[in-house]
Structure 1
Amino acid sequence: MSEPVYHVPVLLHEVIDGLHIRPDGVYVDCTFGGGGHSLEILKHLNADGRMVVFDQDADARKNVPADDRIIFVPHNFRHLQRFCRLHKVTQVDGILADLGVSSHQFDTADRGFSTRFEGDLDMRMDQRQELTAFEVVNTYTEQQLHKLFEQYGEVTNSKTLAKTIVQVRKTASLKTITNFKQALHSIVKGNPNKYFAQVFQALRIEVNDELGALKDMLQQVPPLLKPAGRVAIITFHSLEDRIVKNFFRKGIFEDSAVETDAFGRATTPPPLKAVTKKPIVPTDAEMKRNPRARSARLRVGEKEEE
């Protein structure tokens, strides 16, 4: 029996096309994972090309090839500039971030990412950190839980869900996925699989501060990119996509309007130019081959030439 694939890279050819790879260039993969995107980039680099790859999940290190052109950084990409400078990389030609949870993480029961398996309610991408999904559901206030389920999971009855968790945890353990699902069975709205997928998404985003890390990383992209350098970001839900879209178009994260001068020009032009007006989505063939790609959205930005 063959081993399961660690992770199938999503929108692989579209990423390569979007990055406009220079053979002697320096590239950063913020989310190395199974290495699919990085290995494809390496094929386009000559002996002078280099890659810096980040992944906070210790399991990803096993996938790093023996190649002198690649540097592995076992940390969150929110520390992008710090570790690039540590490795004497001050400017790069391209940056990639695939924000999805890897198939390996979803399919490893004891990581607690999937509703399909039994295991502890964990969800840490970096297992060195202390905060777990169990800590969130066991210690957050009703108001905090309501807010995160509403904002990060768009759960229809987020207020009832938060109230029920606070009541249930007084007398029952929510430590495992089965405990958690059984305790909330009576308040599930609609399709249970979809409902818990939204609940788990919200918990995962909170545990790993995914939106905060994304914003931190994006702010470091413009100064790190060379003029005409490109950044490719793959998102998997609307919260992430909106952050990337607004940053590329306006240089800010919110949906608010940008200040303009008397001629209608932005007083502070965005640090990147959106190469893609609309997000690039997977083809029907890719979604058939890899159903987990169906919600992927790719946006590409470019630093203006000086």
Structure 2
Amino acid sequence: MMTGRDVKKEVAGGLTRHIPVLLERVMQAMNPQEGEVIIDGTFGAGGYSRAFLEAGATVIGVDRDPDAIAGAADLVAAYPDRLLMVHGQFVDIDSHARELGFDAVDGVVMDLGVSSMQLDQAERGFSFRNDGPLDMRMEQDGPSAADVVNTLQQKDLTRIIGLLGEEKKASSVAHAICRARDEKPFERTSELAHVVEKVVGRNPKKPGIHPATRTFQALRIYVNGELHQAAGALAAAERILKPGGRLVVVTFHSLEDRIVKRFLADRCKTRAGGSRHLPEQDVPPATFEFVVKGNQDASEAEVAANPRARSARLRAGRRLAAPARELDIHEAGVPRLFEFRGLGG
């Protein structure tokens, strides 16, 4: 589902402050302490970082979106010695930390998906609700969603929309896109949303969900290589966290959550499964232990205040002393796709 990770809240003086979803649960799982170093791998509007800073921690804020870096200026001014901003991808958080002089950190938080700021800015082209250029690029660089829908073959669009959007009518949607672009290339989000809506139709049982939701999700994930980034960032967190360090991840849809779930299940495993008919198998030493067993969801009160939190899930683990291991991102749940801008595999 196309969800945002921040909610706007009016505060004294008329200023708008973004409060990230599951903030209370994130703080409980991270338990930041004065003097600790925490990486916020998806800085966004800085909601988590602000809370960590107020607890006395030093924060390395990472974001691939230049708008997020620019928007952090006031928070950097408030905490000039304890907030270090990096414009980069969160798949490289371990390299970012070491370049700043930190060989290991006490915590890593990642809030996956698109932020409400990006969704609400029509010119960024993430949302079908606000007409704008069909863009969707978090880094504001490289091929856009328009490039994808206007140039890829129908079979490739079907695979993207089916795998990354989990759209049951992916083949029909891709066919309609290719027919429409023959007449006029797609340029606006409203143009694509209209074509998809005619194919998928409205679901009377879910009137609040737009028919283009899954297609837009698929394109956004593909354009930004989000699943590759997420899996790689989990491995980077394993490499940079010190023993006792906490990894806290918030996801917004099943594809991301499945990757995080598989990663923690594998890294927290202490013995092999099997049966009395099979010999005991060796298991690599666990590199994490669960901080939260399973997942935690948003409370009813939070969902009422911010409907975008409805699909949010939190998973968390604590780093053990065993060496970090190599990660096969496809075994972790990243679909195998063809090459496009170097994101496929």
Q: Report the TM-score, using the length of structure 1 for normalisation.
A: 0.90
Of 226, 244, 251, 1:235 maps to 251
CA distance, structure 1, for counterparts of residue 148 and residue 256 of structure 2: 21
CA distance, structure 2, for counterparts of residue 273 and residue 235 of structure 1: 19
1:118: how far off? 1.1
Q: Structure 2: give runs of 5+ residues left out of the alignment.
A: 1-9, 323-345
Which amino acid counterpart does residue 80 of structure 1 have in structure 2? I
2:55 aligned residue: 44
Which amino acid counterpart does residue 247 of structure 1 have in structure 2? F
The runs of at least 4 consecutive aligned structure 1 residues that moved more than 4 Å come to 1-4, 257-266
Give CA deviations for 1:197-222 in whole Å, capped at 9, x if unaligned: 11111110001100000011111111
Which amino acid counterpart does residue 153 of structure 1 have in structure 2? G
Q: What does 1:209-248 correspond to in 2, within 5 Å? A: 209-248=225-264
Give CA deviations for 1:275-303 in whole Å, capped at 9, x if unaligned: 22221111111111111111100000111
Q: More displaced, 170-179 or 181-190?
A: 181-190
CA distance, structure 2, for counterparts of residue 238 and residue 258 of structure 1: 26
1:182: how far off? 2.9
CA distance, structure 2, for counterparts of residue 80 and residue 8 of structure 1: 23
Q: More displaced, 111-120 or 191-200?
A: 191-200
Of 97, 102, 112, 2:125 maps to 112
2:182 aligned residue: 170
Distance 1:184 1:101, change over 3 A: closer
1:150 matches 2:162: yes
Distance 1:258 1:160, change over 3 A: farther
1:108: how far off? 0.5
2:114 aligned residue: 101
Matched residue of 1:279: which SS?
strand
1:30 aligned residue: 41
1:179 aligned residue: 191
CA distance, structure 1, for counterparts of residue 49 and residue 58 of structure 2: 11
2:212 aligned residue: 196
Which amino acid counterpart does residue 292 of structure 2 have in structure 1? T
1:22: how far off? 2.3
1:130 matches 2:142: yes
2:327 aligned residue: none
Matched residue of 1:195: which SS?
coil
Give CA deviations for 1:84-118 in whole Å, capped at 9, x if unaligned: 11111110000000113111111101111111111
User: Percent identical across equivalent pairs?
Assistant: 36
Of 51, 63, 78, 1:55 maps to 63
CA distance, structure 2, for counterparts of residue 236 and residue 219 of structure 1: 20
Which amino acid counterpart does residue 190 of structure 1 have in structure 2? R
CA distance, structure 1, for counterparts of residue 211 and residue 195 of structure 2: 14
Q: More displaced, 168-177 or 192-201?
A: 192-201
Q: More displaced, 86-95 or 163-172?
A: 163-172
User: Over the residues paired in the alignment, what is the CA RMSD in angstroms?
Assistant: 2.3
Q: Counting strand residues as a fraction of each chain, which structure ranks higher?
A: 2
Give CA deviations for 1:138-195 in whole Å, capped at 9, x if unaligned: 1111111111111111112101111221222111221101222233443123338432
Matched residue of 2:119: which SS?
helix
Matched residue of 1:170: which SS?
helix
CA distance, structure 1, for counterparts of residue 96 and residue 261 of structure 2: 26
- The 8 Å contact of residues 52 and 58 in structure 2, kept in 1 or not, is answered as no
- The 8 Å contact of residues 197 and 211 in structure 2, kept in 1 or not, is answered as no
2:318 aligned residue: 302
Which amino acid counterpart does residue 183 of structure 1 have in structure 2? V
1:82 aligned residue: 95
2:332 aligned residue: none
Which amino acid counterpart does residue 59 of structure 2 have in structure 1? M
Which amino acid counterpart does residue 75 of structure 1 have in structure 2? G
CA distance, structure 2, for counterparts of residue 201 and residue 186 of structure 1: 18
- The 8 Å contact of residues 287 and 321 in structure 2, kept in 1 or not, is answered as no
Q: Report the TM-score, using the length of structure 2 for normalisation.
A: 0.81
Which amino acid counterpart does residue 59 of structure 1 have in structure 2? D
1:8 matches 2:24: no
Matched residue of 1:276: which SS?
strand
Q: Structure 1: give runs of 5+ residues left out of the alignment.
A: none
Matched residue of 1:7: which SS?
strand
CA distance, structure 1, for counterparts of residue 127 and residue 216 of structure 2: 8
CA distance, structure 1, for counterparts of residue 273 and residue 150 of structure 2: 43
Distance 1:266 1:99, change over 3 A: farther
CA distance, structure 2, for counterparts of residue 6 and residue 118 of structure 1: 25
